[in-house]
Amino acid sequence: MTKMQQFDVSRLSSYVEEHIESFHGPISVYKFPQGQSNPTFRIDGSSNSLVLRRKPEGVLLKSAHAIDREYRVMLALDKTEVPVPKVYHLCTDDKVIGSWFYLMEYVDGTVFSDPALPGLTSIQRKHVYDEANRVLAAIHNVDIKTNGLCDFGSTGNYYERQVSRWTKQYRSSETCVVKPMEQLMGWLSKNIPEDDGRTSLIHGDFRLDNIIFDSDSLEAIAVLDWELSTLGHPIADLAYLCMQRRMKRDLFIPGLGDLDIAELGIPYEEDFLSRYCHRTGLKEVGPWHFYLACSFFRLAAICQGVLKRALEGNASSDYGLELGTMVEPLAKLGLKASKN
């Protein structure tokens, strides 16, 4: 983390002390290196720490960077089996730091940025992936009615909405013509599966590095980054998590595509899907090739958005230009998945 002063620390300190009874200044502010979309900071007080997550600066795409949705869903999940940091306060007054933000619990633990999990034993790797599987199933098993989330997303064909939304988002942030991306968007629009009626809470960006694990037991103790959460097709999260199995090590976002996962102790995809189906009561996954292709397209569109913000000077971390290099490789992987 790096020490930052992107806003009036004194004003923030006064605001936090006023709204969080147990928190007292003076404060220090440190920016987490992760978080391309919504900048995230650790706020250290005299005796404890909080995490602040805010909207980025600059002109933003409509419906993007939904800080209030993150806050709402994490608040709703507080008493479920889904591990989330406790949220304390949502600020909708731009005058405090220049944008909306929310405050949540600081969870100390381990975040794995490399899906190969270097430094762990094969048994530990198997456990970490099973924990990710367990938590994902818990998210999809959440009773949306009981937890006040029935209106958290649209109904109808989720993939039809997703292809339309991310095509528009991609066009809004397009900086050049990427031929594989054009081909992938064309294929997806013509091959959207019929709505099978499955709807659940979905995370929207479910990756290993959006989970905090206990450093000793390796239990999943907090799921982060709920900005893209909504109601939708649960297999979207599952396919998104499995993308890295097809991505090679030399990409900016490294994958597992050229590694011996059996030797590493990482479960085969078939076993991983079977375990998920057992936990959710699902009989079959469905058109897996489409789900994977759509996940690659979606991530490519997200990377393009980050690149556009970086070129405009509004990126929330230093990796925006590097992430932009992922757009074409991801589109190619999406096309490959569509043919399998």
**Helices 327-338 and 179-190, interaxial angle, to 10°?**
40
Residue with the larger pLDDT of the pair 244 and 309: 244
Q: Determine the distance from the C-alpha atom of residue 226 to the mean position of all C-alpha atoms in its chain, rounded to a whole number.
A: 6
Residue with the larger pLDDT of the pair 261 and 5: 261
Report the C-alpha gap between 325 and 311 in whole angstroms. 13
Report the C-alpha gap between 111 and 318 in whole angstroms. 19
The stretch 166-193 carries a mean pLDDT of 97
SS3 labels along 81-94: CCCCCCEEEEECCC
In degrees to the nearest 10, what's the CA dihedral of 144, 104, 1, 129? -30
**Per-residue pLDDT, 119:** 96
Other Cβ atoms within 10 Å of 259 Cβ, number? 16
Q: Which domains are assigned to the chain?
A: 2-105 (3.30.200.20), 122-338 (3.90.1200.10)
Are 162 and 294 within 8 A, CB to CB? yes
What tokens were used for 198? 């499955």
Q: Which percentage of the chain shows pLDDT scores above 90?
A: 81
Q: pLDDT by residue (tens digit) across 128-163?
A: 999 999 999 999 999 999 999 999 999 889 999 999
Q: Determine the distance from the C-alpha atom of residue 237 to the mean position of all C-alpha atoms in its chain, rounded to a whole number.
A: 10
Q: pLDDT by residue (tens digit) across 8-67?
A: 899 999 999 999 988 998 899 999 876 557 889 999 999 899 999 998 765 555 555 689
**Per-residue pLDDT, 65:** 60
Amino acid at 26: P
**Per-residue pLDDT, 59:** 52
3-state secondary structure of 212: strand
Q: pLDDT by residue (tens digit) across 203-240?
A: 999 999 999 999 999 999 999 999 999 999 999 999 99
Closest C-alpha to 169, from 263, 307, 322, 335? 307
- Please report, for residues 115, 163, 178, 292, the alpha-carbon distance to residue 171 in angstroms, rounded to integers and kept in the order given: 30, 12, 11, 21
Containing 102, the helix (H) or strand (E) segment is strand 101-105
DSSP 110: B
3-state helix, strand, coil in the chain (%, to 5): 40, 10, 45
Are 301 and 243 within 8 A, CB to CB? no
Q: pLDDT by residue (tens digit) across 177-188?
A: 999 999 999 999
**Per-residue pLDDT, 38:** 85
**Helices 288-311 and 179-190, interaxial angle, to 10°?**
140
Q: Report the alpha-carbon angle 201-33-111, nearest 5.
A: 55
- Please report, for residues 11, 93, 290, 338, the alpha-carbon distance to residue 300 in angstroms, rounded to integers and kept in the order given: 38, 33, 15, 15
Are 41 and 29 within 8 A, CB to CB? yes
Provide the edge-to-edge strand list for the sheet that holds 40-44.
2-3, 28-31, 40-44, 49-54, 101-105, 87-91
Q: Hunting for tokens 């479910």 — which residue is that? A: 206
Other Cβ atoms within 10 Å of 84 Cβ, number? 22
Please tell me the pTM assigned to this model. Answer: 0.91
Report the C-alpha gap between 285 and 11 in whole angstroms. 51
